[in-house]
Amino acid sequence: MMGMFIGVTLSNLRPVSLTSTRNLAIIGTSIMIGLIIPEYIKKFGSDIDTGYADLNFSLKGLLGNPNFVCGVLSCLLDNTVPGTLEERGIAAWQSNDEEEASKTMAQNYEEGKEIYEIPLPNRIKQWHGWKYVPFMPDPKQKKRSRSLSDIKEKKGFVANCNIL
């Protein structure tokens, strides 16, 4: 689970310049300190004494979480250590290309209610009392029948589907 989390997190660093010493130092420091502080809290958690039991509990919980410590430290370092917009990856996020692509994708595909079909026998699904339950479809409504090929033909949608 932790490996999956780290993989997803590091994949978000694609637009960031990983050849920059600044960025490598921030990543390395954040991961190292993010792993050291929770271990320290495990061993010496009783050393935290603010005078308020609830605050002590909250600090131990937050500082005992490596994800929180690493995230806060990396955010702090990224915003305080000087660097260019390209180094920080901000220039890539300011690009309008991705926004236009996501808008085009949203316009080309509409999900129907049939995707969220409740897995119940048809006899139970036809009960007329379901119209009063907010998350159940009304049995009187006609279902639209369309397939992915219909969507592609209508809207010009291009998709790559890998079926296992």
Q: What are the DSSP calls for 33-101, one per residue? A: HHHHHHHHHHHHGGG---S-HHHHHHHHHHHT-HHHHHHHHHHHHHHHS---HHHHTHHHHT-SHHHHH
Question: What predicted TM-score, i.e. pTM, was given to this entire model?
Answer: 0.53
Res 30: pLDDT: 92
Confidence of residue 9 (pLDDT cuts 50, 70, 90): confident
